[in-house]
Structure 1
């Protein structure tokens, strides 16, 4: 039981980090697209 609780806690942290990473990547992608449009 204790091991499962630890695993679930870690997975929750990983999920929040993953969401932050996705948001950061999406923002960088949008900036790249914006630069590409300006270049054209």
Structure 2
């Protein structure tokens, strides 16, 4: 039971970190596009 709970918490933490990583990546891409757009204008 405790092992299952441990695996569950580990998995949720991993998915949580992946979510944060994806959001940071999207933010960086948007910032890069904004900078490129401002350079062109």
Normalising to structure 1: TM-score of the pair? 0.72
Deviations 1:9-39 (A, max 9, x none): 10000001111111111100000111111xx
Residue from 22, 30, 38 that aligns with 1:34: 38
Q: What's the Cα RMSD here?
A: 1.1
May I ask how many residue pairs the two structures share in their alignment? 37
Q: Which segments of 5 or more consecutive residues in structure 1 lack a partner in the other structure?
A: none
Residue from 2, 5, 9 that aligns with 2:13: 9
Q: Which segments of 5 or more consecutive residues in structure 2 lack a partner in the other structure?
A: none
Residue from 19, 26, 30 that aligns with 1:22: 26
